[in-house]
């Protein structure tokens, strides 16, 4: 395997000149550049990434830490991040955190700085206060909740607003007894997990409509899974005949709910209307198709990568105030909330 020295020799220049060509640095005469490129092609030379990393401290790879690869939402996100990173010439290495805080924190440990130039952390296990005190040893962008006053750049879902819109849509379709299904809500006061943010939006929408809030209608599931959603629909929903709408914290949960309601003969959207959150690809193909909130995944991924690259590139930029970006969204209306029977 050819080295930069071999190329230099073949081109009749110094290794440094080859390096300059490789890295698109100025001050290389076109003629010289040609010679070097020819030698590179001839020898089929490839840079040794390890050597470059050892020298520069840059690895050319960013980490993407997600709770679980095998979930449509994160699959969608990962695809978008891989694409966006590629545009910056960066590789993406995906890690699973299983939504456990120690794993999430571990991705920011110094040891990772040796492997990744930066990390995009799709946080699900951290508390807000933890996120606000994140002391990362490498550039980080947190993807998930909006972290006010946190120390790192973050890209967030418009959780509250979008949930309010989703619930508002149910209200507009005539629902009056709307359940909210979410995951475990943190006990820590001031902590903002997805569930509590979306619950806030849900409550606001009820208030907007002058509907009484009923905490009996707020259900905390053990997990964000289809199984949990289905289980709820089979056991709890039938016991609440007054129910006419369900807002699910994610499409995955909603998929389970649709299945469970079908099992117990509760018709959607006739008896109960259902709306989810995420606009996962599958949602459009369910029977009935699932109404949902569609955040702009590509914009989130693109922005996350851009923010990260800026921190990676500019050491001076460490001083820059942490930035936040809230993705645009829209409510996608499908059969599960259709108005006519």
Partner DNA sequence: ATGAAAGCGCTAACAT
Partner DNA sequence: ATGTTAGCGCTTTCAT
Q: At residue 101, what are phi and psi to the nearest 5 degrees?
A: -60, -40
Tell me which of DNA, a second copy, none is bound by residue 22, counting a contact when its beta carbon lies within the kind-specific cut-off of 5 to 8 angstroms: DNA
Min. distance of Cβ 264 from a second copy in angstroms? Answer: 12
Q: Which of 13, 90, 155, 197 binds DNA (CB under 7 A)?
A: 13
- CB closer to DNA out of 317 and 339: 317
Min. distance of Cβ 291 from a second copy in angstroms? Answer: 15
Tell me which of a second copy, DNA, none is bound by residue 70, counting a contact when its beta carbon lies within the kind-specific cut-off of 5 to 8 angstroms: a second copy
Min. distance of Cβ 51 from a second copy in angstroms? Answer: 5
Assess contact for 79 and 88: CB atoms under 8 A.
no
Min. distance of Cβ 96 from a second copy in angstroms? Answer: 6
Per CB under 7 A, 24 contacts DNA: no
- CB closer to DNA out of 53 and 231: 53
To the nearest 10°, report the CA torsion of 274, 279, 284, 289.
0
d(CA 227, CA 204): 28
- CB closer to DNA out of 22 and 262: 22
DSSP-assigned letter for residue 118: E
Burial label for 235, CB within 10 Å (0-12, 13-18, 19+), is exposed
Instruction: Compute how many other C-beta atoms are within 10 angstroms of the C-beta atom of residue 51.
Output: 11
Of 9-17, 53-61, 178-186, 239-247, which segment contacts a second copy by CB under 8 A?
Answer: 53-61
What token pair was written down for 197?
Answer: 């943010």
Site string for DNA, 32-71 (x = CB under 7 A): xx-----------x-xx--xx-xxx---------------
Per CB under 7 A, 9 contacts DNA: no
| C-alpha to C-alpha distances, 182 to 95, 249, 253, 297, 307, nearest whole angstrom | 25, 5, 8, 21, 30
Per CB under 7 A, 215 contacts DNA: no
Per CB under 8 A, 110 contacts a second copy: yes
DSSP 157-179: --HHHHHHHHHHHHHHTT--SEE
Min. distance of Cβ 246 from a second copy in angstroms? Answer: 15
Q: Provide the CA 152 distance to its chain's centre, in angstroms.
A: 15
Site string for a second copy, 229-258 (x = CB under 8 A): -x------------------------xx-x
> Which of 66, 77, 67, 73 is CA-nearest to residue 278?
73
Q: Which residues bind DNA (CB under 7 A)?
A: 1, 3-5, 8, 12-17, 19-20, 22-23, 26-29, 31-33, 45, 47-48, 51-52, 54-56
């Amino acid at each position: 395997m050819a080295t930069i020295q071999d190329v230099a020799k073949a081109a009749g220049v110094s290794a440094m000149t080859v390096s300059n060509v490789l890295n698109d640095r100025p001050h290389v005469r076109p003629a010289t550049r040609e010679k070097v490129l020819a030698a590179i092609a001839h020898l089929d030379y490839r840079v040794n990434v390890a050597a470059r990393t050892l020298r520069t401290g840059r690895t050319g790879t960013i980490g993407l830490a997600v709770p679980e690869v095998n979930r449509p939402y994160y699959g969608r996100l990962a695809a978008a991040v891989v694409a966006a990173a590629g545009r910056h010439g960066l590789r993406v290495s995906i890690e699973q955190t299983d939504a456990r805080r120690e794993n999430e924190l571990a991705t920011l440990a110094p040891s990772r700085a040796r492997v990744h130039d930066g990390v995009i952390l799709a946080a699900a296990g951290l508390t807000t206060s933890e996120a606000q005190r994140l002391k990362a040893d490498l550039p980080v962008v947190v993807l998930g909740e909006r972290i006010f006053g946190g120390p790192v750049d973050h890209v967030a879902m418009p959780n509250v607003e979008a949930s309010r819109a989703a619930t508002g849509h149910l209200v507009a379709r005539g629902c009056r007894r709307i359940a909210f299904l979410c995951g475990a809500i943190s006990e820590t006061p001031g902590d903002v997990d997805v569930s509590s943010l979306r619950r806030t939006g849900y409550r606001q929408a009820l208030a907007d409509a002058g509907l009484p809030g009923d905490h009996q209608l707020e259900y905390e599931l053990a997990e964000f899974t289809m199984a949990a959603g289905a289980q709820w629909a089979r056991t709890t929903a039938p016991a609440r005949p007054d129910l006419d709408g369900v807002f699910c914290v994610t499409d995955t949960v909603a998929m389970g709910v649709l299945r469970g309601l079908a099992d117990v003969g509760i018709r959607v959207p006739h008896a109960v209307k259902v709306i989810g959150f995420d606009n996962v690809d599958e949602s459009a193909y369910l029977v009935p198709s699932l109404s949902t909130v569609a955040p702009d995944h590509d914009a989130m991924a693109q922005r996350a990568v851009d923010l990260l690259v800026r921190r990676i590139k500019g050491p001076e930029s460490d001083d820059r105030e942490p930035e936040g970006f809230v993705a645009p969204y829209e409510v996608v209306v499908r059969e599960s909330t259709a108005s006519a029977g």
